[in-house]
Amino acid sequence: MIVRDLSSLLVTGGAGFIGSALIKKLLKKDDVRRILVLDCMLHPEARYNLSKISPDPRVKIQEGNLNNSTLISNLITKNHFTGIFHLAAPTSYDTIHSALPETISDHIGATTKLLEQARKADIPLISCSSGAIYGTAPFPTISSESTPIAPISLPAATLASCDLLMQAAHQTYAQDLIICRASSCYGPGQDRGKLIPKMIYHALRDEPLPIHGSGRHIRDWMHVEDCAIGLITCFQKSRRGGIYNLGAHCERTNLGIARIILKQLGKPESLISHLDDRSAHGEREAMDARRALQILRWKAHISFRSGMEDTIRELAAYLRPE
């Protein structure tokens, strides 16, 4: 079993939702001496997320773009990283569709450049992909790591392309690479364009909660802290070229999520407003996370009920009208 060094880390997309949660968990480890956050800082929540971690002297923040090869090369040369957590990704459906083809080519190009720099410096790299790359899982099937990739949305196809690049780099160069595919995450600090923060934002203002289609679309929901611990566990324990699903086996419909939010906030279900369904909106995403349990002894621990209650409470305080 490989034991990788956590002492000096580069976290791309570290100001994002999962990235900032990951850094909080990393900072609890005594062997972490420094973390460099590289982020383009485009999301409005980025600086808020960083405000929770930047006071720690071990954290340094670099605003910049992964497509800048000179910047990446200089950072790697100067900092002697022992590991890279690659979390920078265009995850917003609306953002990626409004900026084609630039967003897709930028992300794939950036990942290619980062892989090359990591290979030259012999630095292990772990990426956070998504269970959405498997496409729709007809009930009662669930997607395992051996399930063929079949993305139906452009963000998922972009992540799938990067997964394939990483697999090829490992096969070609025996490069030390790990892929984690996470289910839908929730928790504090999430981009307000995502389902749960969006529902909370509108509910607090007594505005219609926009639900695409019937709202019967199913996702496997995992607390972001469980995802962060899963990423660290995979980095420390996975074999080279390992691929692991990170999920909570907690399936809920979008409509059910909206009803939970309204109930906790004391708002009527009449606020739910059904819109036309979006194209490439998968009916059901369901992941088999047993490999991570069997090989790495990782599993999600935070219950959906307690996790959602805390999440709604914290996001409501942040998103409440001024």
Place of tokens 């504090």: 188
Q: Residue 62 — very low, low, confident or very high, per pLDDT cuts 50/70/90?
A: very high
Residue 94 has pLDDT above 60, yes or no: no
Q: Residue 103 — very low, low, confident or very high, per pLDDT cuts 50/70/90?
A: confident
- Give the pair of three-digit tokens for residue 93: 């459906």
First and final C-alpha spacing in the chain: 52
Looking at residue 149, what DSSP letter applies?
A: P
At residue 247, the pLDDT reads: 98
Q: How far apart are CA 274 and CA 35, in angstroms?
A: 43
- Give the pair of three-digit tokens for residue 285: 């995403």
| pTM above threshold 0.75 | yes
In the chain, the amino acid numbered 73 is S
In the chain, the amino acid numbered 183 is S
Q: Are 306 and 314 in contact (CB under 8 A)?
A: no
- Give the pair of three-digit tokens for residue 260: 């939970």
Q: How far is CA 319 from CA 199, 268, 314, in A?
A: 11, 19, 9
Query: Over the stretch 275-291, which tens digit does the pLDDT of each residue have?
Result: 988 776 779 999 999 99
At residue 91, the pLDDT reads: 58
Spacing of C-alpha 90 from chain mean position: 10
Residue 56 has pLDDT above 50, yes or no: yes
Q: What average pLDDT score do residues 50-76 get?
A: 89
At residue 2, the pLDDT reads: 75
Q: In what order do the strands lie in the sheet with 8-12?
A: 59-63, 34-39, 8-12, 83-86, 125-130, 177-182, 243-246
Residue 1 has pLDDT above 90, yes or no: no
Spacing of C-alpha 98 from chain mean position: 21
CA angle 294, 24, 252 (to 5 degrees): 55
DSSP one-letter string for 81-149 = -SEEEE------HHHHHHSTTHHHHHHHHHHHHHHHHHHHHT--EEEEEEGGGG----TT--B-TTSPP
Output 157 or 50, whichever has higher pLDDT.
Answer: 157
Domains with residue ranges and CATH for the chain: 8-190+222-249+282-302 (3.40.50.720)
Residues 6 or more apart whose Cβ sits within 8 Å of residue 85: 9, 10, 11, 12, 14, 19, 22, 125, 126, 128, 231, 235
Query: Over the stretch 138-181, which tens digit does the pLDDT of each residue have?
Result: 999 999 999 999 999 888 999 999 999 999 999 999 999 999 99
Residue 96 has pLDDT above 50, yes or no: no
Q: How far apart are CA 49 and CA 85, in angstroms?
A: 17
For the chain, the average pLDDT equals 92
Q: By mean pLDDT, which of 89-93, 182-186, 248-252 is the weakest?
A: 89-93
Q: Are 88 and 20 in contact (CB under 8 A)?
A: no
